[in-house]
Amino acid sequence: MRLPQAPPPVTSSTAVTSIRRVWDSAGLIHQLQRSYVAWDDLRRKALPRGVKAEDLWGCLDWFRRWQSLTLPLQDSRDATLRVWWSHEQVVEDLLTIEALARDPLGLMGREVTPARALEYGREILADEAIESSLLEGAPTTRRDALAMLRRGTPPRHRGERMVLNNYRAMRLIEDRLKEPLCRTLIEELHRTISEGTLRDPEDEGRIQGPGDTRAYVYDEEEGRAVHTPPPAEALPERIKLLCAFANADEPSLPAFVKGAILHFQLAYEHPFADGNGRTARALFYWYVRRRGYDLFRYLSLSQAIRASPAQYYRAFIHSEQTGDLTYFVLYYMKVVREAIDRLGRFVRRKIRSERDSASMLRRWPALGLRQRLLVMGAVKDPHHAFTATGVIRTFEVSRPTALRDLAGLVELGLLHVTKVGKELHYRPIPDLEARLASGPVQEPAGGA
């Protein structure tokens, strides 16, 4: 990724001079302000004759500083950070997100019951765990990782371990929503995310200290560091400031904006030897869920970030260069909009699939709800191996209940069972769809 050029410095006197020079370009300035253009993009634009990019930047930067909210956070040079959260594009997106955030069932539609939404949430939780790991270069595939989570089998290598750790971290977040943010919680999140994946196990959940080689972000294409974090000696106080900011009641700052800022600042501090990006994303989820944004139980943000990693890094660097976190907040808005659109497509696809499967399963009235969901999963992935452990994790039931559900499907001739090591694997029969279509079957299926 080509590094953005740092903007020229703007002082009060240079800003006044710039404003005088571009006074007649108000329409252009408004257009550039609405798109929140960065200096690196502005300097490449074709501008009207006699208008200099430096003067436009001086005007834009001065106005942004005047409109921005000063934050109780600092960069590594002790310069105060800021955000223009009332920028018109931010407000437009906030209105959409706020309207949906506390009523995800309203977004999904009347056909989606709370029980069905819970199942969707579990599937999306697994998806986020996989995407977050793939974003960080986990050496695994989506298919293998999803199969591991469904079966509940131990991870076979580091890539699957990363996925399982992320899955556990997302579950941990739900258990910690009533707790304030503190150093211990940040360390617990990182320990859960990094367990068994770091070169030195001592680094799991340990914030770097004096004498440690600081972890920095290196761009191989550029051949240089793109982010050098603050010195380790400063981390205890900086983490304390971050926690105080997260726990403070600030009605002037919308919760979503604050969550995005928490992500940025933890990634900026880069307190751990590795796994900082995953921990920062987990911190965002923790904060917005803590503030009652139930919608984020159903959104996988890492997939959208993985689709545009260069945009993520550019937004981060623009914010780092200027101390203006609006760039990062606007990028986060874009990610959430894409995740909401993806959720809509996911729900529509699931409803269509469930309607098709339901027409076949009407011939099997003895099947319980969990068994029907297992059969629909088997139709979708005819090579999948179900296990009792996977059923326990997916449906949060006891082991006897999981075994009874699976045994009932074997008895009905829908799954066949083989022993792999010490565990039973239940796989779809080769002609499952034909078997489903040949009902009805009236024998009791055994299961709820």
DSSP 443: S
What is the DSSP-derived secondary structure letter of residue 102? T
pLDDT of residue 117: 86
306, exposed or middle or buried, with CB in 10 Å at 0-12, 13-18, 19+?
Answer: middle
- Is the pLDDT at 220 greater than 80, yes or no? no
Residue 219 has pLDDT above 70, yes or no: no
Task: Say if residue 329 is in the same domain as residue 196.
Answer: yes
**What is residue 223's predicted lDDT score, i.e. its pLDDT?**
66
Burial class (CB in 10 A: 0-12, 13-18, 19+), 79: exposed
Q: What is the CATH number of the domain that holds 260?
A: 1.10.3290.10
Confidence check: pLDDT of 439 > 80: no
Buried b (16+ CB within 10 A) or exposed e, 349-386: ebeeebeebeebbeebeebbebbbbbbbbbbeeeebbb
Q: Is residue 443 part of a domain?
A: no
- pLDDT tens figures, 37-74: 999 999 999 999 889 999 999 999 999 999 999 999 99
At 1 the pLDDT is: 63
Give the per-residue pLDDT at 325.
Answer: 98
| The domain boundary residue, chosen from 40, 67, 94 | 67
When pLDDT is averaged across residues 111-118 and rounded to a whole number, the result is 84
> Residues 16, 130: one domain?
no
Torsion on CA atoms 363, 386, 306, 106, rounded to nearest 10:
40
Residues 412-438 have pLDDT tens digits of 999 999 998 888 999 999 888 888 887
Would you say residue 387 lies in a domain? yes
Q: Is residue 2 one of the residues assigned to a domain?
A: no
> What value does the mean pLDDT take over residues 125-131?
90
The string of pLDDT tens digits covering residues 360-409 is 888 888 899 899 989 988 888 888 899 999 999 888 899 999 999 999 99
For 413, the domain range is 365-437
Residue 441 above 70 pLDDT?
Answer: no
| Same domain assignment for residues 53 and 152 | no
User: Are residues 59 and 135 part of one domain?
Assistant: no
Number of folded domains that form the chain: 3
Rounded CA gap, 318 and 331, in Å? 11
The pLDDT assigned to 222 comes to: 62
* Full-model pTM: 0.84
CA distance 233 to 247: 23
Residue 251 banded pLDDT, cuts 50, 70, 90: confident
Within-domain flag for 448: no
